[in-house]
Amino acid sequence: MDRRELLKMIALATGSVMIGGEVFLTGCNNPDKVFGSGVFTEDDIAFLDEVAETILPKTNTPGAKEAKTGEFMRVMVNDCYTKEDQQVFHNGIGQLNEACKKKHGHDFMKADPAQRKELLITLDKEAKETTEKKKQFDKEQNEKEKEELAKGNKYDKKLMASHYFTMMKQLTLLGYFTSKEGKTGALRYIPVPGKYDGNLDYKKGDKAFAGLN
């Protein structure tokens, strides 16, 4: 297996490790047994499509809505998130809308693209701050756990919840850049390269090659 690739797969552009995939790193136990508890309505999917489209809008290449990123978020949150994270995500839909009302005086779905973008830039900043706090908090908890384990004690560590916008942005990026639209539209998709050139000339603006895995 390509173990050298392992670490590359983890960090996402949100500065946070892949949510739901934290076990990927730590191998820790996950006690949750309730899967797919959250219910997404059609309105939720449409809402998430617009959030995703604001993060990665259609330009001369396809946008996140065209890549059905809202529907992708539903599948990922239902199947891959813990119960707690699912709750954070569901609450986040309402919180994002409330934040929009506060900032622009109306629902996110009624906001124009500029208003949406302005709002999400604010939320992105907020989410990044939370991620930094979480990193520090979780680190302390992990160290505490290590200390207690070394002393032979059990320690029930609590990790801080992620920000809902971190989740939405992660899933938007993941969903879009692994979709057919993203890989073949925004990136260069070469399913059978047939050769390797380790010294290819590159000029700014050339698109990245989409990974096949």
Give just the sign of the alpha carbon dihedral 178, 8, 84, 48.
negative
Residue 129 sits in the site that holds another protein (CB under 8 A): no
Residue 160 beta carbon to another protein: minimum distance, rounded to whole angstroms:
19
* Stretch touching another protein by CB under 8 A, among 4-12, 91-99, 102-110, 151-159: 4-12
> What residues contact 157, with CB distance under 8 A and at least 6 apart?
141, 142, 144, 145
**Binding track over 149-178 against another protein, x by CB under 8 A:** ------------------------xxx-xx
**Binding track over 32-71 against another protein, x by CB under 8 A:** xx-x------------------xxxx-x-x-x--------
CB 175 within 8 A of CB 76: yes
CB 101 within 8 A of CB 115: no
Residues 131-150 that bind another protein (CB under 8 A): none
Residue 168 and residue 48: Cα distance in Å, rounded?
8
Residue 87 sits in the site that holds another protein (CB under 8 A): no
Residue 131 beta carbon to another protein: minimum distance, rounded to whole angstroms:
10
* Among residues 38, 44, 45, 82, the one that binds another protein under rule CB under 8 A: 82
Residue 61 beta carbon to another protein: minimum distance, rounded to whole angstroms:
7
Residue 166 beta carbon to another protein: minimum distance, rounded to whole angstroms:
12
Give just the sign of the alpha carbon dihedral 8, 12, 13, 17.
negative
From the list 163, 167, 162, 174, the residue with the least C-alpha distance to 72 is: 174
